[in-house]
Amino acid sequence: MNMTLDNYNSTEFIQSSSIIKQSNTHPIDTNNIDNVFNITSCIIITFMFSLIVIFSIFGNILVMWIILNNRRMRTITNCFLFNLSAADLLTIFQIIPNVYYVLQNDWIFGIAYCKFSQFFTSFNIAISVFTFIAISSDRYTAIMFPLRPRSKLKTVICAIVAIWLISFAIGLPGLIVATVYPKNLSNLQNIVNSTDLLVVVKQISVNSPDQYVSNDCILNWSSEWSEAYDYTLFVLMYVLPLIILATTYIPISIHLWFHRGLGEVTRAQAQNVQSKRRAVKMLCAVMLIFAICWLPYQLFFILLQLSPTIKSSHSLPIIFICCYWLAMSNSMYNPIIYVLMNKIKQKYKACFYHQLLVCDVIKGLLKRNLSSFVNKLKHIPLN
């Protein structure tokens, strides 16, 4: 079925990146973007996001490696933290293209990666949120009902698989309706429907055959669907999880810090309580950092829905890139929290010293072999 441009409002196709929330009805005025991000600001922004990529890769891979290579670390909570690190690693695959998109005001990565990026925007958040809920549920059961049997590893694996499947379903709309549109719609004559996906046919006018048309990666649906999807994600991925986490960790904290058991408390029991307190502190810190990092990003799009007049603001791209950096930086904070507030600190140190030892051994072997090689060269006759 052929569809003409008369069916669309051209303002709906102005800049709306995969990270500028998934809709063609959330435009940022592209005329402002070109004026805001000069060379200096682009260098600074690229450097700041590069820090996220580097620290996220190093920290999360190290966490996953420690958990995999230490049997004592393979607890239920750490299995979920392993899953959280895996989700954090996935975020780096969308940072680089999305930052380029915002700075250069052009999507050059094709329709396939556009769909991938739109999908992972919601997919990654969902994995983190549902993992937090799973951890809080496990901690609540273990601390408030200590006599109940603990979850087995098989149950934890099933829970993680369920988290990924549900998260996939939440991100699916982005995978289905995401597409790439050129910004200069005046040079387009028609849009055709091919294999159930809207494909843009770029037909440059005869008067300007060499004209380059920059593109936008957007979700192609109505403003009503966009508004419903945005509010649903805000409630489902932010408000509701925080309420659930509060209803679990507040009773846990009251029980650990204010509850006094009957009889004399042994030293082993006191150490057990202290260990649980440290674990709860660490988990609360991880979730609090998550809530702080993602709050400006979530509110950014709610404000766009409530006040459409701010969409053409000259400072809006700067505000967005700051919100996006803060949200993405969450992926590098968790390993730091684990080190500062958990016994994984010793594992990090052991891993670090082990790497230094390996490097020293390798350097010693290379030095010894090089010395032996030089001595052999000295004894080779020249004739």
Residues 208 and 357 grouped into a single domain: no
In this predicted structure, what is the pLDDT of residue 44? Answer: 92
Q: What's the structural domain count of the chain?
A: 2
Instruction: Tell me the per-residue pLDDT of 42-64, one tens digit each, with 9 for 90 and over.
Output: 899 999 999 999 999 999 999 89
Number of Cα atoms under 13 Å in the Cβ half of residue 104: 16
Binned at pLDDT 50, 70 and 90, residue 159 comes out as: very high
Q: Using CA atoms, how far apart are residues 159 and 33, in angstroms rounded to an integer?
A: 43
Helix/strand/coil (H, E, C) string of 254-271?
HHHHHCCCCCCCCHHHHH
In this predicted structure, what is the pLDDT of residue 162? Answer: 96
Strand-pairing partners, residue 67, are none
Residues 177 and 221 grouped into a single domain: yes
Residues 305 and 375 grouped into a single domain: no
Structure token pair of residue 136:
């809080």
The dihedral region occupied by 198, where left means phi > 0, alpha psi between -120 and 50, and beta the remainder, is: beta
Q: Is the pLDDT of residue 82 over 80?
A: yes
Residues 166 and 255 grouped into a single domain: yes
Range of the domain at 369: 347-383
Residues 75 and 93 grouped into a single domain: yes
DSSP string covering 99-138, please? HHHHHHT---SHHHHHHHHHHHHHHHHHHHHHHHHHHHHH
Residues 51 and 92 grouped into a single domain: yes
Residues 20 and 146 grouped into a single domain: yes
Q: Using CA atoms, how far apart are residues 88 and 69, in angstroms rounded to an integer?
A: 20
Instruction: Specify the CATH number for the domain of residue 117.
Output: 1.20.1070.10
| pTM exceeds 0.75 | no
